[in-house]
């Protein structure tokens, strides 16, 4: 994953009308996950093509895991799903991404709106370290400059920290700095922060790679619970994790001469127990990559 996006201060503000919806919807118990459809995605860094004609359906209420050896384009594909790829100098893109049928790259749709609807959690937990836990959760909304009543804020903070599986651990210390939490707690705080802007889809780029096994288990539990509220696409190198958390998997592969493509995708149990392609079989059984 590129370090380019490790700083949430780079995430642009959310449009006014969206915030109105977010703030007034704090009572909403269940969000409305959307399906995501990637069609014919190709991506380049300068002249270097790293993805070639990749198509994948990511159904609502499901966790889709992107697996494959290092450098095959998983993170790049993930970044095309919320228009982060286009922020990289010299990067280009072809294809279509549809969110419940709506073209995410439609010039009418602002990039900020696209990123509000498709949130991202990064490899390295990146809360604002000096900001309180409470303020961290609300920071996505804060950037909009929109005001909400104290009661609405309190409700939202409790709701999303509960969904991220962190409420019981931090409810008595909401005014402490985010940086005082453990790595695993910080990652769950980042998940809560993402949920606070009510995304339809949550992208996760190796969210547990910097965490110990206990924290990893806790995040995996959170991912499984979150699928009721949000469609999830996760990049992982951990085959056990892909099996534990995902409903479907896509196996990416690139070679020295060919850009990344999907070799095979489908239900996770099929990819792991009865893959159609020998290369998938070899990869999921640790014979390469």
Ligand X SMILES: Nc1ncnc2c1ncn2[C@@H]1O[C@H](COP(=O)(O)OP(=O)(O)OP(=O)(O)O)[C@@H](O)[C@H]1O
Per CB under 6 A, residues contacting ligand X are: 1-2, 45, 50, 68, 70-76, 88
CB of 39 to ligand X, least distance (A): 19
Assigned token pair, 34: 């959307």
Q: In sequence order, what are the residues at sequence separation of 6 or more whose Cβ sits closer than 8 angstroms to the Cβ of residue 61?
A: 33, 227, 228, 231
- For 57, 81, 98, 200, 240, the CA distances from 118, given in Å and listed in that order, are 15, 8, 11, 6, 26
Nearest distance, CB of residue 252 and ligand X, angstroms: 6
Q: How far is the CB of 70 from ligand X (least distance, A)?
A: 3
Which of 43/219 has CB closer to ligand X? 43
The minimum distance between CB 180 and ligand X, in angstroms, equals 29
Query: How many other C-beta atoms lie within 10 A of the C-beta of residue 97?
Result: 21
Contact 115, 82 (CB under 8 A): yes
DSSP secondary structure, 182-218, as one string: -HHHHHHHHHHHHHTT--SEEEEESTTTTS-HHHHHH
Minimum gap (Å) between residue 10 Cβ and ligand X = 14
Q: Which is nearer to ligand X, 50 or 137 (by Cβ)? A: 50
CB closer to ligand X, 75 vs 215: 75
Nearer to ligand X, 251 or 272 (CB): 251
CB nearer to ligand X: pick between 79 and 153 = 79
């Amino acid at each position: 994953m590129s370090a380019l996006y490790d700083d949430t201060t780079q995430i642009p503000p959310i449009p006014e009308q969206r915030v109105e919806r977010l703030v007034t919807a704090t009572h909403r118990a269940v969000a409305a996950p959307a399906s995501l459809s990637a069609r014919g995605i190709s991506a380049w860094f300068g002249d270097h093509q790293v993805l070639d004609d990749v198509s994948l359906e990511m159904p609502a209420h499901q966790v889709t895991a992107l697996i494959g050896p290092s450098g095959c384009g998983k993170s790049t594909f993930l970044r095309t799903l919320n228009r982060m790829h286009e922020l990289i100098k010299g990067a280009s893109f072809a294809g279509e991404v549809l969110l419940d049928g709506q073209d995410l790259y439609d010039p009418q749709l602002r990039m900020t709106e696209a990123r509000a609807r498709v949130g991202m959690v990064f490899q390295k937990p990146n809360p604002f370290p000096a900001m309180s836990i409470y303020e961290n959760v609300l920071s996505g909304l804060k950037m909009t400059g929109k005001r909400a009543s104290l009661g609405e804020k309190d409700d939202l903070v409790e709701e999303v920290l509960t969904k991220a599986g962190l409420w019981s651990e931090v409810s008595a210390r909401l005014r402490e700095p985010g940086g005082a939490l453990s790595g695993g707690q910080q990652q769950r705080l980042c998940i809560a922060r993402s949920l606070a802007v009510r995304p339809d889809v949550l992208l996760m780029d190796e969210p547990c790679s910097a965490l110990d096994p206990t924290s990893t288990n806790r995040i995996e539990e959170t991912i499984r619970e979150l699928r009721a509220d949000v469609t999830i696409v996760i990049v992982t190198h951990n085959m056990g994790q892909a099996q534990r958390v995902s409903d479907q998997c896509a196996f990416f592969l690139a070679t020295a001469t060919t850009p990344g493509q999907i070799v095979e995708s489908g239900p996770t149990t099929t990819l792991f127990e009865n893959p159609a392609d020998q290369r998938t079989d070899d990869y999921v059984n640790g014979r390469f990559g």
